[in-house]
Amino acid sequence: MTTTETQVATPHYMLRNKDQCLGPICLPSQKGVECVAFYGFSNKSSFDVFCRNSSLELTPYPLVKVFLRDQQTTVTGGLRLLVIDAGQPNAFQLLAATTEAILNAHENHETRLLPTHALTLDQGDGGYRVGEISA
């Protein structure tokens, strides 16, 4: 898809509404690969911007390594992403990284990482098309 060398801050929080993790709706890929994405935030100010643009009662939840590890085994053959520092629920384009890349960043104490995927809003289908970002 696109090429980027812009690093983003490693997320430390994920978004919850009551007891559910929240994320954008990902449309099926042309190859039929399932994709699930969650919203993640690197700091409180990024979370606050998102909350101002949402009508939901949202809570930041610490992003823990156990959750990231569990995502690796939840969907066989599927893609698990964490959208990083989205400014609003229906932004036209979102940057994301695989849960594996974020887990590696946490384990290596890296403060920044390269996004691995871009999500582009398809208003006609009401969800996001997911594409890989090439290095």
Please indicate, yes or no, if residue 1 is contained in any of the structural domains: no
pTM for the structure as a whole: 0.86
Closest of 113, 102, 125, 93 to residue 29, by C-alpha: 125
Please indicate, yes or no, if residue 32 is contained in any of the structural domains: yes
How far is Cα 124 from Cα 39, in angstroms, rounded to an integer? 22
Please indicate, yes or no, if residue 93 is contained in any of the structural domains: yes
Please indicate, yes or no, if residue 2 is contained in any of the structural domains: no
How far is Cα 114 from Cα 109, in angstroms, rounded to an integer? 14
Please indicate, yes or no, if residue 75 is contained in any of the structural domains: yes
Number of domain units in the chain:
1
Question: Which domain covers residue 57, as residue numbers?
Answer: 8-132
What would the pLDDT profile of 35-51 be if each residue is shown by its tens digit? 889 999 999 899 889 98
Please indicate, yes or no, if residue 65 is contained in any of the structural domains: yes
Considering only 43-52, 68-77, 113-122, which range has the smallest mean pLDDT? Answer: 68-77
